[in-house]
Amino acid sequence: MSRLASDRLRQNAEIIMQMWEKRARDEVYASMHQNSLVLQDSLPKYLKQLVNELSTSIERTPARIASDEIESTRIGKLHGHERAGYADYSMSQLIFEYHILRQVIFQVLEEEAPLGVRERDIIIGSIEQAVNDAATQFSQTLQDIQELFMVTLTHDLRGPINVVKMGTQLTLRRLERGDTHVDVAARMLGAINRLDSMIQNLLDASRLRAGQSLKLEFEECDLEKLVFEVVEDLNFAYGERFVVVSDSDIKTYCSRKEIRRVIENLAINAVKYGEPNTPITLTLQPTETQVSLTIHNEGNPIAIDAQSILFQQFRRTTSAEDQTGWGLGLFLVKSITEAHQGTIEVESAEGKGTSFIVKLPKLSL
């Protein structure tokens, strides 16, 4: 019976594809916009592979079984990759295509005689595996396309933003202090810097999602000096709200540019989500092996359940939904800190405000 089922499938493969294509055009919305579902499609290859799985004339050695599984997976992934390239296709439509194919295969093969239990199990198992492989590849390809789009878009945005940034800086230098336009130019520059930072965050997040590491240039860093530099810039943008508490001569081995981003991100978050007109305290403390930087703000605490998603990319707490940004800041803060062999944690409670604590290895003298 198995050989007979294999032969019938081989002989009727073209009929099956024609029936499948007709039903797919009628029932799968995305397929209505495609000129051909077959010529550049992997399903004919899948049917050929299924013929081999049903055949009894091929010895099913362990090596042959493993080879068939590899080929079946390759074909399923090919189908998923192809479908992800069509803008109209969704995951559910991809899966529905396979459901239609299964129904058509059974309809055609059982016109002459019922299939045996083994044949039905082989077909059902094969379809289920193909769906899984295609869906997995569909998701991966779609993610790759989205990543490429995001990287291309953010890269292309950097050029015009840099032009506007340089022009605003030049305007600000030429304005005399006391000029009513100085404040406007300064605010414009601050907005451009924030936009530039958001674009950099997107680019870095894309690299991390692709499994790449951030490009870090390590050197000896005077953290106290770095914190004061950041605070000086923030005071210009947000007013004299920042208080630095520090022991002198606190050093670590770090990428100054990236650790500066960590400090800026956490301090700006404290401005966004903290109680207005209250101090934001940056505290540096050394231990025997680590340097601890705590950034604290007053205000409503972060809910316990929200704390668990703070450092995930593209995730926001309920209180942050009305704020601008990509939801990448804390994700990158954590990634940068961990790239420095450090840790970050949050403490937040009613009446005590919120503290983010970054711990970095202390520079051995």
Q: Which of 66-70, 114-118, 229-233, 326-330 has the lowest mean pLDDT?
A: 66-70
The confidence score (pLDDT) of residue 326 equals 42
Query: Over pLDDT 70: what percentage of the chain?
Result: 72
Torsion sign, CA atoms 9, 10, 14, 17 = positive
**Average pLDDT, whole number, for the chain?**
78
* Per-residue confidence (pLDDT) for residue 243, from 0 to 100: 93
Which residue has better confidence, 296 or 20?
A: 296
**pLDDT tens per residue across span 244-292:** 998 777 888 888 888 988 998 899 889 988 998 899 999 999 888 889 9
The confidence band for 166, taking pLDDT boundaries of 50, 70 and 90, is confident
**What is the pTM assigned to this prediction?**
0.51
**Tens-digit pLDDT profile for residues 19-57:** 888 888 888 776 655 555 543 466 777 888 888 888 765
